[in-house]
Amino acid sequence: MKDVRLLSAPFDPNTEIEPFARACPEAGGIATFVGKVRPGGGVEALELSHYEPLTRPGMEALADRALARWELMGLLVLHRTGPLHPGEPIVLVSAASRHRRDAIEAVDFVMDHLKAEAWFWKREKRADGWHWIEPREADHADLARWK
Amino acid sequence: MALRLLFLGKLADLAGVGERVLDLSAPLGWDALLDRLEPDLASALGGAKVRVAQNADMVADKTALIAADGDEIAFLPPVSGG
């Protein structure tokens, strides 16, 4: 079971996780990561732009790689676009498997690749205006873990 | 005949808009396409880290691009990361 979505409106992780869990009744465990706009640090808002014809297929392909690499019964990948406020969920990745390590590693893998490779551009609003967020070295180090 | 150009991320700030339509009388190669844009925008698009998609397919070597009538050319700066 694969469910990959780009969302332009706020979502509630809890109302997504429950139906996902129900759709994977044979699972022995479910691992979930929810990423939020980090509160504080002077950031008033975050805006995510994307390019639909590349961003969506890229997320689908990433989910397929995780499904091929680990024994999963289900994989849920949700990613926000548009304007977000501090504390709001940006991303949710949930994996269901027979044994815990498959689910935990798959979520970690999908998150590292979403961060470093998925076609999203982010800018944050501070008191002095909007600033684009540049790539970080750490993102590439994170990817190297999976080679 | 026309071409649709999409500027993603901070390239949209440099272009002043996210999207532009370029009239053309014949297919445009990479250098001819950049010649139609402002010098600072053209120089940013030529940077090694900016990738190009033609009708949503990644272009392996952007300098070999031939943009034709009806094409959508997207300019993609590095993604933001975490």
CATH of the domain at A137: 3.90.1170.40
Among A47, A133, A136, A143, most B C-beta atoms within 10 A, so best to mutate, is A133
How many domains does the structure of chain A reveal? 1
Q: What is the 3-state secondary structure (H, E, C) of chain A?
A: CEEEEEECCCCCHHHHHHHHHHCCCCCCEEEEEEEECCCCCCCCEEEEEECHHHHHHHHHHHHHHHHHHCCEEEEEEEEECEEECCCCEEEEEEEEECCHHHHHHHHHHHHHHHHHHCCEEEEEEECCEEEECCCCHHHHHHHHCCC
CA distance B81 to chain A (A): 5
Task: List, for residues A111-138, the tens digit of each pLDDT value.
Answer: 999 999 999 999 999 999 999 998 888 8
**Does the beta carbon of A60 lie under 8 angstroms from any beta carbon of chain B?**
no
Cβ contacts below 8 Å, chain A against chain B, sum to: 57
Q: Write out the residue range of the structural domain in which residue A31 sits.
A: 2-144
Q: Given this model, what pLDDT does residue B82 score?
A: 65
A53 and B77 in contact by Cβ < 8 A? no
Pair A95, A74: CB distance under 8 Å: yes
Position of tokens 């370029």? B22
Q: Provide the β-strand partners of residue A49.
A: A121
CA distance B31 to chain A (A): 24
Burial annotation A42-58 (CB, 10 A radius, 16+ → b, else e): ebeebebbbbebbbbeb
The reply to whether residue B9 touches residue A53, judged by beta carbons under 8 angstroms, is: no
pTM of the complete model: 0.94
> How many CA atoms lie within 13 Å of A103's alpha carbon, on the beta-carbon side?
21
pLDDT digit string (tens) for chain B, length 82 residues:
899 999 999 999 999 999 999 999 999 999 999 999 999 999 999 999 999 999 999 999 999 999 999 999 999 999 987 6
Q: Which residue of B lies nearest to A119 if distances are taken between CA atoms? A: B79
Nearest to A115 among B12, B77, B82 (CB): B82
Q: Domains in chain B, please, with CATH?
A: 2-76 (3.10.20.30)
Q: A-chain residues within 8 Å CB-CB of B81? A: 115-116, 133-136, 138-139
| Least confident interval from A42-51, A54-63, A134-143, B39-48 | A134-143
Mapped onto helix, strand or coil, the DSSP state of residue B77 is coil
C-alpha dihedral over B39, A135, B66, B72, to 10 degrees?
-100
Q: Tokens representing B34?
A: 């950049």
From chain B, the residues in CB contact with A123 under 8 A are: 10
**pLDDT of res. B38:** 96
Q: Do B80 and A54 touch (CB under 8 A)?
A: no
Work out the minimum CA distance from A7 to partner chain B, whole angstroms.
Answer: 18
Segment A72-101 shows an average pLDDT of: 98
Interface predicted TM-score of the whole assembly (ipTM), two decimals = 0.92
Please check the confidence at residue A61 and state whether its pLDDT lies above 70: yes
